[in-house]
Amino acid sequence: MGLIDHIEEDYVHNISLCYRCDTQIEPIPSEQWFINVSKKLKVKSKKNNINWSGKSIKDIALEVVKSGKIKILPERFEKNYYHWMENLRDWCISRQIWYGHRVPVWYREQENKKTRKQENKKEIYVGVEAPEGKGWVQDGDTLDTWFSSGLWTFSTLASSPDQIRIKDGRLVIDSEDFKNFHPTQVLETGYDIIFFWVARMIIMTTYAVGDIPFEDVYLHGLVLDDKGKKMSKSKGNVINPLDMCEKYGTDATRLSLVVGSSPGKDLKLSEDKIAGFRNFSNKLWNIARYVIYITHKTQYTTDKKINYKNLTLADKFILGKLEELIKNVTSDLDNYRFSQAGEKLREFTWSDLADWYLEATKFQKGEKTQKVLIYVLRDLLKLWHPFIPFVTEAIWKEFNDTDLIIEKWPEHDNEKINKLMNDVGVFELLQNIIIAIRNARAENKVEPGKKIKAVIIAGEKEKLIKENGAIIKGIRTGVDELETLDKGEEIKDAIKLVVGEITIYLIGAIDKEKEKERIKKEIANTEKMISIIEKKLGNGDFIKKAPKEIVDKEKSRLKELKTELKELIV
């Protein structure tokens, strides 16, 4: 017809390459197997009180999340899930690859009985095994990876084929594991496969079993390098976890991936961070060695309860802190706040236990204190076990015949917490006094070994401080003489400290000119803080919008600062 003008021999266009071998891929139109996601189903379950009849696969997958049967954490990813499912198209489940589950479809050419010749019409049979008769050939395709993976939550809970049967169009698994562990309580996975895997498991399980696959979906982020860049071999910034486990220990590597992480957010990881948690694991090990040594290893291991009579203030402090820790860590784990739980455990272990309580036990070694030590260590190992199972199990075996992994999780007692909080407050007051003395010594460059005298003007807290003066003298303050008064005159040529409403004079450590300069700086800093808080409290928007407890806290802090300033100026 003369419509063709000419034919170009070469065209420049994009060519698709295989992601494995980089060979060219030529798209070929071909028949594929699909799942109809919009077809209305008949899904009922008397056991689970479920009736999804008249709804499609897509409808059901949306309903189980919107109704709260399945929760996605963090919640903001529910929008991603809804977007995918609301726009879901029929699912192509056949793949032209070698490795995978074969598509369970069989074909046989139909034979014309009159002519005895093969015709193009095919018989099709769906099943794992070929039906009876000759000439059946299995489909050469394999199932989509996510189709196979989508079966995970229920297919792994049958130990033999005879435990699996079909009843009323639903899959029934008659196994103890299925009865005990399905639906799964928690699925933990990456946010990048919420559609590829999470959605497919919901689709497959609701259709096949007539139930949800899991109750909660916890999504973690990607692990990045310390600069926030995606790890890549070409960039040379990959941290091999096997190498880190070998170098720093499995527990340290494990803990570095938990602390600092939050659901749905990417995590920065560095070798220095892993090394730091190796050092912490060593710290916990050394704490345990000290406790086991001074309690004579097995002397008190059978005492699982504490008699709260005649305990020292330090004993009550650590027991109160432990009860709080159990309560807070349990709540954090129940609500998937894993990093916060780890941070609280680390703070208790390193600060409350090692820096304060163990220091107190070095000069208070009574029998009850030794019982408290082993009691605290016992519960602390239980709390740490989910985070660092190998170190804690090894320590546990040093003074127990049982396995830590099967021990009962500790439970907090609110009544104990309430009873012990006053003692915790008193000990924390002593901590503030001790910290103030240490800081003053450092600022004034007092020689570490030099002994000094402390005079504390404590007002109504005189009795409390006098009764516990041994703690102030014993926990690395360098104070070998302590005098506690309810009131008194200013002492010249002494370092003056103010802790709330308490005034402290350090005698024998002063350089007069340096002390004047220090007080001058402290007055300036205190005045600056007062100015900042007064400005904040004078802001109408802050008073109106901030929570009442925050406003009250600022008012209380302002009052304390003004008292401190008054003491400093005197």
* Run means of pLDDT, 10 residues per run, the chain, 570 residues: 74 82 86 93 65 88 95 95 95 90 90 54 87 91 94 92 86 93 94 94 93 95 87 83 94 94 90 95 95 73 71 94 96 95 96 94 84 94 97 93 93 88 92 93 85 89 89 88 87 87 86 76 91 90 85 90 83
Question: How much is the pLDDT for 45?
Answer: 60
Structure tokens at 306: 């504490």
Alpha carbons 264 and 561: distance in angstroms, whole number: 41
Question: How much is the pLDDT for 30?
Answer: 87
Pairing assessment for the beta strands 91-92 and 34-35 based on DSSP bridges: antiparallel
Where are any strands of DSSP class E within 201-334?
Answer: 214-220, 223-224, 267-268
* Cα–Cα distances in angstroms (integers) from residue 315 to residues 348, 363, 383, 499, in the given order: 14, 13, 19, 24
Are 393 and 385 in contact by the 8 Å Cβ rule? The answer is yes
Are 173 and 157 in contact by the 8 Å Cβ rule? The answer is yes
Quote the CATH superfamily of domain 34-103+139-220: HUPs (3.40.50.620)
CA nearest to 194, candidates 307, 78, 283: 78
Question: How much is the pLDDT for 389?
Answer: 96
* CATH architecture of residue range(s) 511-570: Orthogonal Bundle (1.10)
pTM of the model: 0.77
Structure tokens at 190: 């990456």
Where are any strands of DSSP class E within 450-526?
Answer: 452-457, 479-485, 495-499, 502-507
Question: How much is the pLDDT for 382?
Answer: 97
Q: Where in the chain are the domains?
A: 34-103+139-220, 263-412, 511-570
Alpha carbons 142 and 93: distance in angstroms, whole number: 8
Question: How much is the pLDDT for 235?
Answer: 80
- Please report which helix (H) or strand (E) contains residue 171, including its range: strand 170-173
CATH of domain 263-412: 1.10.730.10
